[in-house]
Structures are given as structure tokens and as C-alpha cells.
A = this chain, B = another copy of it.
Amino acid sequence: MTGLAAHRLGFFRSHASVGFTFIRHYTKLSVKDINPNMRRLEYAVRGPIVQLANELEKGLLSGEKKAFDSIIRCNIGDCQFAGQTPISFIRQVIAVASNTRLMDSPIIPDDAKERALRFLRSVGGSVGSYSQSTGVEIVREDVARYIELRDGIPSSTEDIFLTCGASEAVKFILELVATTREGTQRAGVMIPIPQYPLYSATLSEYNNYQIGYYLDEDKGWSLGTEELNQRLEESKKHCDPRVIVVINPGNPTGQVLTKENIEAVLRFAHKNNLMVVADEVYQHNIYVSDRQFHSFKKVLHDLGGDIANEVQLASLMSASKGFMGECGFRGGYCELVNFDPEVRRELYKCLSARLCPPVLGQLAMNVIVNPPKPGEPSYETFTSEKAKVLSDLAKKAKLVETLFNELPGYKCQPVMGAMYAFPRIELPAKAKEAAERANMPPDTFYVTKLLKSTGICVVPGSGFVQKPGTSHFR
């Protein structure tokens, strides 16, 4: 201990010993003292409307009488919660990998056992071990093969890291570009409006500047470069624009982008020095015959030249959507394209502090990107289960779209993909006035009424942001 420090210490202690402690009060952390970025964060998909649904449900369970018997939760893209059956093969592999005594059970097919064994060998024999921070090597390899098969162009294991759901990848990428140095402009991130509120929440968390660009509702929620240019230019007085986020197929809007539209976005990103974050978690969810899924990576590659070699792209995928809907497993991956290897190394270093993604989520992702092959025992079942889920989702998409467009006051754009409809509602003047009296946006007023009178829980459009003066819900 230095003499000076010892002196200070003595001084400090004598304060206490002569009773000066009464001037010090223990003050609890209050809301005004917490990290302001966290205070600003909002996440509508699990916001106040869901709290109200929870309260109503508790009331029902404790015997209260209402006009409905249960809450129907349409607030979140959680297919299994809504009754979708899990894909058998995924669950068989998970079960036998978790409890290897099942290697002797006839309930588990042989190919599921082989998958589990292959995975176990690569994680030191137990799913209870940590994996590498970037994810289990063979899963990363299988992801790369899946992408190669999808796009017909090479993919490198080095560029792929596994995540705790796609949301973790969003957080890491948006954290990476955040400028925290004083005296530098905030990093600007372009996001679609309406948007998936994970993006606005994460931008708040890392103090990035949100540059919203409107999707064109009357053109089926398409994405116009004129709008992109305009919003980008306007933003430059507030921030240093660094990233554009595109969600394709769209959430909450359900559109599927054409190849030409994606090309235009990539040219725009190249011209304006932006990294592209392509949220492609709904890549299996396409419901119309005149649209197909084009990955940003493939379209970028096909543009050729400087653009193909330069534009930095982070493409996100999840185990939670598609035909599998395994939200609870928190599986996901991110592929980096054209990233500086040193930056990639820094990012992977940061992954290491959270140790690893959930190992069974990685195993679920492994089965998704490397499903049973023709000739294997589970091939037929897997293929027919997958087809059934996707055709059911397609039927529901059509049904929802048609129904809404038959109702007066509703207008719903085509639901081409993803898992949502985002219908526009025209509320009567009286309803708008009542909403104003209740101090709520009209759509929040509407969905609150809907929940209270029918038990159906949807998310107001204001949670996703929408053009001023319009009202929607998802």
C-alpha cells in the first residue's frame, strides 16, 4: 500500500468512526440513472399489448367469465405455439444426442442416430460441453455446403458463425459498427419501415442512428431506390450512414423481393459505402408461384466486377422460422461476405466472451441445413412433413389475405412470404376520436378493443412504425 493511499484510507475510516456515516445515504439505482440506451429501447412484439393479454389470461385461469375462453396469441411468429407439429427427424436427433442410452431404442431411426453420433464426435462426446465460440466445426461446414447448394457459388466455413437465434447476429453486427468515440458522428443504419422492432431496439441499445426508409404499401410493400436515396441524403446531417438492413421475405409485410430489386439495393449500397445486413430468416417461406427467393449473396455474386468483390454483406438465418419453427432452440447462423479478415477476427474474438451458442440449437441448425438424403430411412417422412407445413402456411397466407380484403375498411397487400399479414385498417372517425380521448394511437386502440372483446392478440402497426396517418396491425 502506498503511503498516500494508506493516508486516504485512514482518513476515510476516521470519517466512519466518528459517526459521519449519517451524511451518506445508500441510494438505489433509479430509472433516471440507468443506461439511457436501455431506457430508450422498445420492443413492441412483447410490449404492453402482450402484458394485457397475460393479465386477461390469468383472469380466465382464475375463473373470470369473458366473451372468450382463451387468448389467441398472434403477436409473435411462433408456429409451434400456434399448434404446428415439430419435424420428427429434428427432434429424434436432439433426443438421442441428449440421452445416448436411446442409441438402443427402436423409436429412433438409424439415420437420426448416425447424425447424433457424428455431432457428438465433433463436440467431445457430450452436448453438455461448450462448443467453439463460432460454433461446432461440422455445423459450420454443413452450413457452407447448404449455401453452396442454394446459390451455386462457393461458401467458406471461415465466414460463418453460429448464433443464439438470428437476433444475436443482429446485435453483434450493429454493435460492431457503433461509434462510441466522442466527437465522431453516430453510425447511421437504414432499416425498412414498417420494420421488425428488434432492429429499432438494437439501434437504441448501441446508440446508432435510425434511418427509416418506407416500403411502398400500394406497390405490395416494394422497396424503391428513390426513397432510399432521399432518406440517406436527409440523414447525413445527423449521422454517418454505414449499414442498410433489408428483410426478405419481409417482416411484418410479407413481400418477396425480385432479383432486380435486390440488385438495385446492392448498387445503392456500393455507391454509398454501406454494409448490407440481409435478414433472410424466411428464405423457406415463399407462398406464391410467381416469386422465388433470391439470396443477396447470389445476386451480389452475379453482379460481378467491383460490386461483387467489395460490398460487405452479412446474411442471417434462423432455426425459428421456415418449415421447422424451432424458436425455443435459439439456433441461427450468419454468413459474412467481403469482410476484412481482421474485422472478422475482432468480431469472433467478441463472440468468445459469451462462450458459445446453445449446443442443441446448433444441432437443430445442423439438421436443417443437412436434411435426410434420398435413400436414408427418414427421407420420406422428413420431406412430406416439410411439404405439409409449408403448404399449410401457404393456404393460411392466402386465406388471411382474401378474408381481410373482403372485410370493409381493411386492405391487405399480397402475402408472398414470411409468416405475417400487415393489413391496413381505415377506422371510422368516431373510433379515432375515442382513441384520442384514450390517449392511444388509433391502431393501439383498435387492437386493445380486439383483444378485450375476442381474446385475439395482435401487434399494432405503430410498434413496427408506419406512414403517418395510416393504421395497421400484424
Q: How far does the Cβ of A171 sit from chain B's closest Cβ, in whole Å?
A: 7
| A28-B176 CB under 8 A given contacts A9-B230, A38-B346, A233-B12 | no
Q: Does A92 sit within 8 A of B, measured CB to CB?
A: yes
Query: In the complex, A34→B184 CA distance in Å?
Result: 12
Q: Is the CB of A126 within 8 A of B95?
A: no
Query: In the complex, A205→B180 CA distance in Å?
Result: 10
Residues of B contacting A78 with CB < 8 Å? Answer: 129-130
| A271-B16 CB under 8 A given contacts A205-B350, A328-B127, A328-B128 | yes
Q: Please tell me which stretch of A99-107, A138-146, A382-390, A415-423 contacts chain B, meaning at least 4 of its Cβ atoms lie within 8 angstroms of it.
A: A99-107
- Chain A, 337-374, CB within 8 A of any chain B CB: 338-340, 342-343, 346-347, 349-350, 352-361
Q: Is the CB of B34 within 8 A of A343?
A: yes
Residues of B contacting A343 with CB < 8 Å? Answer: 28-31, 34
Q: Does A118 sit within 8 A of B, measured CB to CB?
A: no
Residues of B contacting A81 with CB < 8 Å? Answer: 124-126, 129-130
Q: Is the CB of A180 within 8 A of B37?
A: yes
Q: Is the CB of B353 within 8 A of A202?
A: yes
Q: Is the CB of A8 within 8 A of B80?
A: no
Q: Is the CB of A128 within 8 A of B329?
A: yes
Query: In the complex, A40→B104 CA distance in Å?
Result: 50
Q: Is the CB of A177 within 8 A of B130?
A: no
Q: What is the size, in residues, of chain A's interface with B at 8 Å between Cβ atoms?
A: 120
Query: In the complex, A233→B7 CA distance in Å?
Result: 11
Q: Which of B8, B171, B350 contacts A41 (CB 8 A)?
A: B350
Q: How far does the Cβ of A286 sit from chain B's closest Cβ, in whole Å?
A: 22
Query: In the complex, A353→B201 CA distance in Å?
Result: 7
Bits for A89-111, please: 1 = Cβ < 8 Å to B, else 0.
Answer: 00110111011011011011000
Which of A94, A242, A352 has the largest count of B CB atoms less than 10 A from its CB? Answer: A352
Bits for A309-340, please: 1 = Cβ < 8 Å to B, else 0.
Answer: 01110000000100011111110000000111
Q: Does A258 sit within 8 A of B, measured CB to CB?
A: no
Bits for A52-93, please: 1 = Cβ < 8 Å to B, else 0.
Answer: 000000000000000000000000101011000010100110
Residues of B contacting A99 with CB < 8 Å? Answer: 88, 91-92, 94-95, 107-108
Q: Does A179 sit within 8 A of B, measured CB to CB?
A: yes
Nearest opposing residue in chain B for A77, CB measure: B130
Q: Is the CB of B360 within 8 A of A358?
A: yes
Residues of B contacting A92 with CB < 8 Å? Answer: 99
Q: Does A438 sit within 8 A of B, measured CB to CB?
A: no
Q: Please tell me which stretch of A19-27, A147-155, A293-301, A429-437 contacts chain B, meaning at least 4 of its Cβ atoms lie within 8 angstroms of it.
A: A19-27
Q: Please tell me which stretch of A162-170, A277-285, A440-448, A453-461 contacts chain B, meaning at least 4 of its Cβ atoms lie within 8 angstroms of it.
A: A162-170
Q: Does A291 sit within 8 A of B, measured CB to CB?
A: no
Q: Does A156 sit within 8 A of B, measured CB to CB?
A: no
Q: Is the CB of B358 within 8 A of A229?
A: no
Residues of B contacting A349 with CB < 8 Å? Answer: 41-43
Q: Is the CB of A5 within 8 A of B339?
A: no
Residues of B contacting A338 with CB < 8 Å? Answer: 28
Q: Does A290 sit within 8 A of B, measured CB to CB?
A: no
Q: Is the CB of A35 within 8 A of B234?
A: no
Q: How far does the Cβ of A416 sit from chain B's closest Cβ, in whole Å?
A: 25
Query: In the complex, A81→B12 CA distance in Å?
Result: 48
Q: Which of B80, B95, B175, B207 contacts A96 (CB 8 A)?
A: B95
Q: Which of B29, B91, B230 contacts A275 (CB 8 A)?
A: B29
Residues of B contacting A242 with CB < 8 Å? Answer: 29
A26-B306, A43-B349 given; 12 more Cβ-contact pairs under 8 Å: A8-B233, A24-B271, A24-B273, A28-B310, A28-B340, A94-B99, A126-B328, A129-B328, A131-B328, A164-B354, A164-B358, A328-B358
- Counting from the closest, the 4 A-B pairs by CB-CB distance are A328-B359, A95-B99, A358-B358, A46-B352
